[in-house]
Chains A and B, each alone.
Chain A
Amino acid sequence: MAKIKGDIVINTERCKGCEVCIAACPFTVIQMSKEVNSKGYHFAMKVNDECTGCTNCALVCPDGVITVYRAKVTTE
Chain B
Amino acid sequence: MEDKFAKTEIHKPENIVYKRTDLLVDRPLSYCPGCGHGTSHRMLMEVIEEMDITEKTIGVSPVGCSVLAYDFLNIDMLGAAHGRAPALATAIKRMWPDHFVFTYQGDGDLAAIGTAETIHACNRGENITIIFINNGIYGMTGGQMAPTTLPGMRSSTSPYGRDVPTMGHPLKITELIAHLPGVHYVTRQAVHTPNAVRKTKKAIRKAFELQKENKGLCFIEIVSNCNSGWKMTPVQSNKWMEDNMFPFYQLGDIKVDGKLVEKKEQVEKE
CB contact between A64 and one of B32, B42, B192 (< 8 Å): that residue: B42
B198 to A73, Cβ gap below 8 A? no
A49 to B6, CA, bound (A): 8
B17 to A53, Cβ gap below 8 A? yes
Q: How many residues of B contact A (CB 8 A)?
A: 41
CB contacts under 8 Å to A, within B9-39, are 9-12, 15-21, 24, 28-29, 31-39
Encode contact with B along A54-65: 1 for CB under 8 Å, 0 otherwise.
011011111111
Instruction: Using known A-B contacts A20-B192, A59-B18, A59-B198, determine if residue A35 contacts B24 with beta carbons closer than 8 Å.
Output: no
B29 to A7, Cβ gap below 8 A? no
B42 to A7, Cβ gap below 8 A? no
Residues of chain B with a CB closer than 8 A to A46's CB: 3-6
B1 to A18, Cβ gap below 8 A? no
B18 to A48, Cβ gap below 8 A? no
Residues of chain A with a CB closer than 8 A to B165's CB: none
Asked whether B263 is an interface residue with its Cβ less than 8 Å from the other chain, the reply is no
B194 to A55, Cβ gap below 8 A? yes
Residues of chain A with a CB closer than 8 A to B18's CB: 55, 58-59, 66-68
Asked whether B235 is an interface residue with its Cβ less than 8 Å from the other chain, the reply is yes
Instruction: Using known A-B contacts A23-B238, A60-B194, A63-B29, determine if residue A73 contacts B38 with beta carbons closer than 8 Å.
Output: no
A56 to B197, CA, bound (A): 9
A70 to B18, CA, bound (A): 9
Shortest beta-carbon distance, A72 to chain B, in Å? 9
CB contact between A60 and one of B9, B20, B197, B227 (< 8 Å): that residue: B197
Residues of chain B with a CB closer than 8 A to A68's CB: 16-19
CB contacts under 8 Å to A, within B184-201, are 191-194, 197-198
A62 to B33, Cβ gap below 8 A? yes
Chain A residue at smallest Cβ distance from B234: A18
Residues of chain A with a CB closer than 8 A to B157's CB: none
Instruction: Using known A-B contacts A18-B34, A59-B197, determine if residue A47 contacts B39 with beta carbons closer than 8 Å.
Output: no
A61 to B234, CA, bound (A): 11
Chain A residue at smallest Cβ distance from B32: A16
A62 to B39, Cβ gap below 8 A? yes
B1 to A16, Cβ gap below 8 A? no
A28 to B29, CA, bound (A): 26
Residues of chain B with a CB closer than 8 A to A58's CB: 18
Asked whether B7 is an interface residue with its Cβ less than 8 Å from the other chain, the reply is yes
A22 to B194, CA, bound (A): 12
Residues of chain A with a CB closer than 8 A to B36's CB: 62
Instruction: Using known A-B contacts A58-B18, A59-B18, A60-B191, determine if residue A7 contacts B6 with beta carbons closer than 8 Å.
Output: yes
5 smallest A-B Cβ distances: which pairs? Answer: A62-B38, A18-B34, A16-B33, A64-B20, A68-B18
A-B contacts, 7 listed (Cβ < 8 Å): A16-B34, A53-B17, A56-B194, A59-B39, A60-B39, A60-B197, A61-B38
**A interface with B by C-beta (< 8 Å):** 5-7, 9, 12, 14, 16-20, 22-24, 33, 35, 41, 45-49, 51, 53, 55-56, 58-71, 73
